[in-house]
Copies of this chain bind each other. A is one copy, B any other.
Amino acid sequence: MFRYSNAKSGRHFLQIPGPTNVPDRILRAIDRPTIDHRGPEFGVLGRACLDGMKKIFQTESHVVIYPASGTGAWEAALVNALSPGDTVLMYESGQFATLWKSMAVKLGFKPEFIAGDWRHAAVPEEIEARLKEDSGHAIKAVCVVHNETSTGCTARVAEVRRAIDRAGHPALLLVDTISSLGSIDYRHDEWGVDVTVGGSQKGLMLPPGLSFNAISAKALAAARNSRSLKSFWGWEEMIAANKTGYFPYTPATNLLYGLSEAIDMLVGEEGLPQVFARHQRHAEATRRAVRRWGEAGALEILCMDEREHSGALTAILLTQGHNADALRKVILENFDMSLGQGLGKVAGKVFRIGHLGDFNDLTLMGTLAGVEMGLAVAGIPHAKGGAQAAMDYLAECAAPPSLKAVA
A362 at the interface (CB under 8 A from B): yes
5 further interface pairs, Cβ-Cβ under 8 Å (given A334-B361, A364-B366): A8-B270, A9-B358, A9-B359, A336-B361, A362-B369
Most buried by B among A337, A372, A399, A401: A401
For A107, the chain B residues whose CB sits under 8 A away are none
A40 to B308, CA, bound (A): 64
Determine whether the beta carbon of A361 is less than 8 Å from that of B370.
Answer: yes
A377 at the interface (CB under 8 A from B): yes
Does more than half of chain A's interface fall in helix, strand or loop, or is it mixed? Answer: helix
Chain A 355-387 per-residue mask, 1 if CB under 8 angstroms from chain B, else 0: 000111111111101101100111100001101
A335 at the interface (CB under 8 A from B): yes
> What's the nearest-Cβ distance from chain B to residue A383, in Å?
12
CB-CB nearest in chain B for A8 = B360
Q: How many copies does the complex hold?
A: 2
Determine whether the beta carbon of A7 is less than 8 Å from that of B365.
Answer: no
> What's the nearest-Cβ distance from chain B to residue A18, in Å?
15
A394 to B366, CA, bound (A): 12
A403 at the interface (CB under 8 A from B): yes
9-residue interface stretch from A188-196, A230-238, A241-249, A321-329 = A321-329
A11 at the interface (CB under 8 A from B): yes
A388 at the interface (CB under 8 A from B): yes
Determine whether the beta carbon of B329 is less than 8 Å from that of A406.
Answer: yes
A13 at the interface (CB under 8 A from B): yes
Determine whether the beta carbon of B395 is less than 8 Å from that of A377.
Answer: yes
Determine whether the beta carbon of A335 is less than 8 Å from that of B358.
Answer: no
